[in-house]
Amino acid sequence: MVRSLTEGSRVMGALVEQLTLERVEGGVAVLTADPSVAVTARSRAAELEQLASRAWQARVTLRIVDAEAPAPPAGEETTRVSMSEHPLVRLAVDELGARLIAVQPRARPPRE
């Protein structure tokens, strides 16, 4: 239902597609996402909460957590995927006609 409310915004639609609803407890919806998507979701949490509240017709608070990356099989190397293959980048290229110009490392907030 939340997805249907994002029809006016491709960005929010793309963001909602990348989130997974894990559970709802006492008015708090716990969402998981790939760590790179979780950062964006946290920055747009107020908008996401409004969408969820409208969809469920009740006040909903969101808790966005990083999805656990599965451990690589023993003896196998992990390879980094290029940013041009990131799901949100591919969606921006496909849907909006964007093009990837540069990639810079993201400043990470200190861990608590």
Largest CA distance in the chain: 49
pLDDT of residue 86: 77
Whole-model pTM: value is 0.55
What domain range includes position 11? 3-68+79-96
Burial of 57 (0-12, 13-18, 19+ CB in 10 A): exposed
Residue 111 lies in a domain: no
Instruction: Give the number of domains in the chain.
Output: 1
The string of pLDDT tens digits covering residues 9-52 is 777 888 888 888 888 888 888 888 888 888 888 888 888 888 88
87 forms beta bridges with none
pLDDT of residue 2: 66
pLDDT of residue 107: 72
Residue 23 lies in a domain: yes
CATH code: domain of residue 31: 3.30.300
Residue 104 lies in a domain: no
